[in-house]
Amino acid sequence: EAGVTQFPSHSVIEKGQTVTLRCDPISGHDNLYWYRRVMGKEIKFLLHFVKESKQDESGMPNNRFLAERTGGTYSTLKVQPAELEDSGVYFCASSQKPGTNTGELFFGEGSRLTVL
């Protein structure tokens, strides 16, 4: 069974440009999460989808970030326009039900974004 896949693995753009990151969760996982890790700091929550609905978007830094999950399958995270501080590794994760005993999230390998 395929794990969580993310694309691209690395993106280098200039300040002011637009980047779109894509995440394909594990098949059958209704819950999809975006996280970001900046410069060796903590892995910070951005938002949580349940199917196509945004369950929690409290971690989104500002309105330059737009996440979508049309049809409840794959998700995209768009940054427009990108700023220097947006550089970091963006992780996507998926899970079955939040209330399950394991509480485990399955992570993708991440998309590294470098804004110059």
Partner 1 sequence: DQQVKQNSPSLSVQEGRISILNCDYTNSMFDYFLWYKKYPAEGPTFLISISSIKDKNEDGRFTVFLNKSAKHLSLHIVPSQPGDSAVYFCAAKILSYGKLTFGQGTILTVHP
Residues that bind partner 1 (CB under 8 A): 4, 31, 33, 35, 40-45, 48, 50, 55-56, 59, 91, 93, 95, 98-99, 101-110
The residue (of 31 and 76) whose beta carbon lies closer to partner 1 is 31
The residue (of 88 and 108) whose beta carbon lies closer to partner 1 is 108
Minimum gap (Å) between residue 48 Cβ and partner 1? 5
The residue (of 7 and 107) whose beta carbon lies closer to partner 1 is 107
How crowded is residue 81: how many other Cβ atoms within 10 Å of its Cβ? 14
Q: What is the rounded distance in angstroms from the CA atom of residue 93 to the CA atom of residue 95?
A: 7
DSSP state letters, 16-66: T--EEEEEE--TT--EEEEEEE-TT--EEEEEEEETTEEEE-TT--STTEE
Minimum gap (Å) between residue 42 Cβ and partner 1? 5
Minimum gap (Å) between residue 111 Cβ and partner 1? 10
Minimum gap (Å) between residue 81 Cβ and partner 1? 27
Geometric angle at alpha carbon 110, from 109 and 111, rounded to 5°:
135
| Residues across the chain | 116
